[in-house]
Amino acid sequence: MNAKRRKGIQALIDTLKRDFRETAGSTGIPAPDEALIEAIRRVPRDRFVTERDLDLAWENTALSIGYGQTISQPFVVTLMTQLLALTPESRVLEIGTGSGYQAALLGELAGEVYSIEVVPELAAQAESRLREMGYENVHVRAGNGRLGWPEAAPFDAVIVTAAAEEIPPTLVEQLRPGGRLVIPVDTGWYGQDLVLGVRGEDGGLETRNVLGVVFVPLVGRE
Please give the positions annotated as active site: 72
Residue 50 burial by CB count (10 A; 0-12/13-18/19+): exposed, middle or buried? middle
Residue 180: strand pairing partners: 157, 198
Calpha distance 104→113 (Å, rounded): 9
- What DSSP line would sit under 50-100, residue for residue? -GGGGGGTTSSS-EEEETTEEEPPHHHHHHHHHHH---TT-EEEEE--TTS
Contact assessment for residue 81 and residue 146, using Cβ atoms and an 8 Å cutoff = no
Residue 104 burial by CB count (10 A; 0-12/13-18/19+): exposed, middle or buried? buried
Calpha distance 110→120 (Å, rounded): 25
Give the phi and the psi of residue 41 in degrees, each rounded to 5.
-65, -35
Closest among 205, 203, 101, 204 to 195, alpha carbons compared: 205
Measured torsion, CA atoms of residues 111, 93, 129, 47, in degrees rounded to the nearest 10: -90
